[in-house]
Chain A
Amino acid sequence: MKVDIRDLGLRFIFGGLAVAACYVVLQLVPSKSFAGIFAAFPAVMAAAVIMAGHFGNSEQAADIAFGASAGMLGCTICVFTATFCMEHLGKWGLSLGIALVVWFFSSYAAIMLMQNLLEKRKKQRNSM
Chain B
Amino acid sequence: MFDISPFSLFLRFLFGGSAVLASTLIARTFGGKLGGIFAAFPAVYLAAVVGLGLEYKGSELLSVTEQLSRGALVGMAADICCALAASYFILRYGWKRGLAYALSLWALLAPLIYFTWFGF
Contacts and interface: CB of A to CB of B under 8 A. Distances in A.
Co-assembled chains A and B: yes
Interface of A: 1-3, 7-8, 11-20, 22-24, 26-28, 31-50, 52-54, 57-59, 61-63, 65-76, 78-80, 82-83, 86-87, 90-92, 96, 103-104, 107-108, 111-112, 115
Contacts, number: 275
Nearest to B58: A92
A39 B75 contact: yes
Contacts of A63: 87
Interface of B: 1-4, 8-9, 12-21, 23-25, 28-29, 33, 36-37, 39-49, 51, 53, 61-62, 64-80, 82-84, 86-88, 90-91, 94-96, 98-99, 102-103, 106, 110-111, 114, 118
Which label, helix, strand, loop or mixed, suits the secondary structure of the A interface? helix
Given A33-B70, A111-B33, A44 B24 contact: yes
Given A15-B43, A58-B95, A92-B61, A74 B37 contact: yes
Contact of A15 (B16, B67, B111): B16
B94 A44 contact: no
